[in-house]
Structure formats: C-alpha cells, structure tokens
Structure 1
Amino acid sequence: MNQDEIESLTTVGKILIEEVFDRSCEYLQTKITRGMTGNRPDPMQQSFEALDENAKRVALRFMFDAVDQTFAQFLNFLEAHDVPLSVNVRQHGRIDISGLSDGLAVEPYGDDGWIARFSKFKGGISQLPH
C-alpha cells in the first residue's frame, strides 16, 4: 500500500470507530447513567441500578459485546456484498477502501487495530461517562 492508501484506510477506520462504534457504546452508557427520560425516571436506568455489582459487570460486558459483534457483522456485510467504501484523497481522487484491506472485519482488532487506536471505549462500557 502507498501512503495515501494507508492514510485512507486509517481515516475511514477512525471515522467508523468514532461515529458508529463509539456512538453505540455512548448511547448504551447514557441509558444506564442518565436516570431520566425527559422529565420522568428512566426504567432502564432504574433496572440497571437495582442489579448487584456482579450482574452489572455482566450487563456492561454484554452491552459492549453486542456493539462489538454488530460492528464486526456490519464490516463483514460490506465486504461480503462488495459494497463500495471509498474516501477522497488529495492527489489520487477516490480510493476504494474495501480493496485495501485483507479483511475489513479484522481491522478494528488487535494492539494496532482501529479500536485500540481510536475508541474511547477500548476498555469496554463503564458506568461512568468517558
């Protein structure tokens, strides 16, 4: 890969993590920490607060795993159905990201993956906002 292709893949990964993965984690975290829906108590938050600490840990892990698995399936879908995923770069016009990766669904993972580099939730969803 040339430098523009590397930067393009990195840019798309950063955008996907920030705007899809992290927003999904943030939504779930907010549901359990906010406490109110409009001017009424939020039943989801009240139910979560009623759990013991072990059950809360399991629920938080389940929420994170659900987001993680959905994100991976989304990337698999893009690849399996040859959905074009491109980005504009300075000198070369549009670059197709799908063709640059050995597997889009594995790009988020590992020590140098998109989640490790760009996510606010690399350690999972917590009860405290990030």
Structure 2
Amino acid sequence: MKSKQSLDIFGEFLVKNLRDKGIENIETLLKNKSKAPSNLKLQTEINKFDESQKELIKEIVIRSIDVAIHDFLFSLQELADFENNIQILVNGKNIVELSDGIHGESYSEDGWNAKFSQYGRSE
C-alpha cells in the first residue's frame, strides 16, 4: 500500500501542477479572462473563433498536454530500464520502479487523471 501511495502522491502532483495548469491556461485564454499583457493579442485572435472552434482548440491542447506527459513518463520508464541515471523519488521510493508502466498511470477509469484532475480523464 505504501508504494501505491507514493505513486499516487507523484501522480496527483503531476496532474495538478502540469496537466490542470495547462488546461486552466487554455480555458482562461478561450474565455478572454487573462489580464497578462502578453496574452491580449492572442485573446483578440481567439475571440474571432466560434464556440465549436474554441472547443476544438481546447481538445487539441488537452490532448497535446496528455501526450507530452505520456511521452515524458515513457522516457523515464526507458531510463529506469537501462541507464537509470534520472530518478524521481517520493518518500524515498523510485516512482518508476513502483509501476509496471508509469506512462499508463494517467489513463483508465481509476488512473491519475480520473482521480486527481479537476477536468477528469480525456477520451
């Protein structure tokens, strides 16, 4: 149970601080709510799109974030299988070694995205 707990601690951290922050950012831009001067021109351009186009943009961003997380975790898995020169420890445990495929931990009905993301899992 302790190993699963360490794995879930990492998963929750990754989902809340990477996945959800990225999705939150695109939602802010799509709703024209960013006050950052660097985003104003971008928001002006985004406002030219209709709602279905904005939903498509959001879906593209979510899928891009999920693919990037998957590929990052897959690379960690490969390193652990060979060089093992980059390790992520949670409670002193190498989280890659706690999983039978860390790149798959985000997915499924009981994966990290479903458990920890305020946006749920993607299809």
TM over 0.5: yes
What TM-score comes out, normalization by structure 1 length? 0.79
Counterparts of 2:54 and 2:28, CA distance in 1? 14
Counterparts of 1:102 and 1:31, CA distance in 2? 37
- Shift of residue 41, structure 1, vs aligned partner: 7.2
Counterparts of 1:43 and 1:28, CA distance in 2? 14
Secondary structure of 1:36 counterpart: coil
Alpha-carbon contact 2:77-2:101 (below 8 Å) kept: yes
- Shift of residue 64, structure 1, vs aligned partner: 0.9
- Counterpart of 2:75 (choices 74, 77, 93) is 77
What TM-score comes out, normalization by structure 2 length? 0.83
* Greater strand proportion: 1
- Shift of residue 43, structure 1, vs aligned partner: 1.6
> CA 1:19–1:35 in structure 2 vs 1: closer, same or farther (change >3 Å)?
closer
- Shift of residue 122, structure 1, vs aligned partner: 1.6
> CA 1:10–1:41 in structure 2 vs 1: closer, same or farther (change >3 Å)?
closer
Counterparts of 1:48 and 1:117, CA distance in 2? 31
Matched positions, count: 116
The one-letter amino acid of 1:49's match is N
| Equivalences for residues 1-130 of structure 1 within 5 A | 3-33=1-31, 34-38=33-37, 42-82=40-80, 83-88=86-91, 94-122=92-120
> CA 1:61–1:107 in structure 2 vs 1: closer, same or farther (change >3 Å)?
same
Counterparts of 1:4 and 1:35, CA distance in 2? 41
Identity percentage over the alignment?
Answer: 26
**1:127 corresponds to:** none
- Shift of residue 99, structure 1, vs aligned partner: 0.7
Structure 2 residue runs without a partner (length 5+): 81-85
